[in-house]
Amino acid sequence: MPAAPAPARPGVQRPEQPLISIILPCLDEEAVLAETLARLGRLAAGQPDCRFEFVFVDDGSRDRTPEILREAAARDPRVRVLRFARNFGQQIAVSAGIEVAKGDAVVLMDADLQDPPEVVAQMIDRWRQGFDVVYGTRASRRADSLMKRATARLFYSTINRLSEVPIPADTGDFRLMGRPVVDVLRQMPERHRFIRGMVSWVGFRQTSIPYDRPERFAGVTKYPLRKMLRFAADGILSFSIKPLQLSIALGLIAATLALFGIAYALFMRIFTSVWVEGWTALMIAVLFMGGVQLICLGIMGEYIGRIYSEVKRRPLYVVAERMGFDETGE
Ligand code: UDP
Ligand code: MG
């Protein structure tokens, strides 16, 4: 572990007994929750000068996840649970947690223990030193497949070329955020949410902690390739309008090529007698132009679809049940 950098803001005041909210989105996590709860309990026991709340957001699980969480909430006053009416996606689940979290600092963490609870203790230290955002970076991706590593690299280089705010590579959503950052996030109403990008956009003093990302404790990934691609598209399209400008560039290139084609066709028509030929050239031009136009239409369609779902102004999620919120007077 590299030495901690100098304090970000010497003399920054943090509460004596800060409340740390840990937000855990869960989809079909019955296999890991008992262990996750135990590890969170140990984390809290090791931090006697902090108070904790564990906000679980059940994102429409079809297994025993809600029952396990209901029991946990009944047993442990620190456990709070939002149960969604259906699956809304991890980014929305995290957003719901951020909405209800009361903490002076809020931690986002996967429920499958790939984000080790022990790292949170270091994040709290950094926050006490004056940082507003402490995110975990994956020191090694040993647990990830070659495919996942390669696509992740491609994704982060693309998004950083396109997006105006730099988004650190090799990070997930595993991070601690101070209250001021959380309050800004709560004011961002967009429904296509790419939380790690939104946190970068907010700014403040951010730092990173490298950690070894272990394999999922149990169960299987809830991100099949299709969902992964959707997530990547959300990230890029919500943080850049450059793809729209790309369609202008494609259009210009195609138009320039077309100009040459037109000049050639006119030349052949006027000065030679072979002007009936050229079916191949014609087909190539038509197909190429058609392809370029469809790509551009598709890019615009992506953005228009997003505008459409934003203007509908539906709530982000539907909560079916709240557990463990009564003691706080809510
Ligand atoms: N998750 C969720 N809703 C979803 C997909 C995932 O709440 O639609 C949760 C999941 O339960 C886990 C976290 O998001 O706590 C990360 O998912 P997972 O570990 O399956 O992703 P991976 O680590 O394989 O990328
Ligand atoms: Mg995982």
Q: What is the pLDDT of residues 90-99, one digit of tens each?
A: 999 999 999 9
CA–CA gap between residue 26 and residue 93 (Å, rounded): 8
Is 248 in the same domain as 182? Answer: no
- Calculate the average pLDDT of the chain: 87
| Domain assignment of residue 2, yes or no | no
Average pLDDT over residues 140-162: 83
Give the number of the ligand closest to the Cα of residue 95. 1
Is 193 in the same domain as 277? Answer: no
Give the number of the ligand closest to the Cα of residue 223. 1
**pLDDT value of position 327:** 55
CA of 110 to the centre of ligand 1 (A): 7
Please report, for the domain that includes residue 88, its CATH number. Answer: 3.90.550.10
| Domain assignment of residue 1, yes or no | no
**pLDDT value of position 1:** 43
**Per-residue pLDDT for 330 more than 60?**
no
CA of 27 to the centre of ligand 1 (A): 6
**pLDDT value of position 276:** 66
Is 48 in the same domain as 164? Answer: yes
% of residues, the chain, pLDDT over 70: 94
Residue nearest to atom 22 of ligand 1 (CA): 221
Q: Please, which residues have CB less than 5 A from ligand 2, an ion?
A: 110, 112, 114, 216
Average pLDDT over residues 108-134: 94
Q: What angle do CA 231, 299, 249 make, to 5 degrees?
A: 125
29 CA closest ligand 1 atom index: 11
Length of the chain equals 330
**Per-residue pLDDT for 199 more than 70?**
yes
Give the number of the ligand closest to the Cα of residue 227. 1
| Domain assignment of residue 10, yes or no | no
Is 185 in the same domain as 59? Answer: yes
Q: Residue 206 — pLDDT band, cuts 50, 70, 90?
A: very high
| Domain assignment of residue 12, yes or no | no
Q: What angle do CA 20, 189, 240 make, to 5 degrees?
A: 105
Is 65 in the same domain as 159? Answer: yes
**pLDDT value of position 329:** 46
Is 271 in the same domain as 164? Answer: no
**pLDDT value of position 124:** 96
CA–CA gap between residue 59 and residue 81 (Å, rounded): 11
Residue nearest to atom 12 of ligand 1 (CA): 110
**pLDDT value of position 253:** 86
Is 101 in the same domain as 46? Answer: yes
| Domain assignment of residue 123, yes or no | yes
Is 93 in the same domain as 154? Answer: yes
Average pLDDT over residues 121-132: 94
**pLDDT value of position 10:** 61
Residues 202-227: b if buried by 16+ CB within 10 A, e if exposed: beebbbbbebebeebbebeebeeeee
**pLDDT value of position 90:** 94
Is 143 in the same domain as 159? Answer: yes
Is 142 in the same domain as 86? Answer: yes
250-258 own/partner pairs: CB under 8 Å, 24+ apart: 250/292, 250/295, 250/296, 251/292, 251/296, 253/292, 254/288, 254/289, 254/292, 257/285, 257/288, 258/285, 258/289
CA of 49 to the centre of ligand 2 (A): 30
| Domain assignment of residue 51, yes or no | yes
- Burial tier of 324 (Cβ tally within 10 Å: 0-12, 13-18, 19+): buried
Is 197 in the same domain as 292? Answer: no
| Domain assignment of residue 206, yes or no | yes
Q: What angle do CA 195, 198, 202 make, to 5 degrees?
A: 140
Residue nearest to atom 1 of ligand 1 (CA): 90
**pLDDT value of position 88:** 94
What is the domain range of residue 42? Answer: 19-240+315-323
**Per-residue pLDDT for 33 more than 70?**
yes
| Domain assignment of residue 4, yes or no | no
**How many Cβ atoms from other residues are within 10 Å of residue 79's Cβ?**
21
Is 228 in the same domain as 248? Answer: no
Tell me how many domains the chain contains. 2
**pLDDT value of position 3:** 45
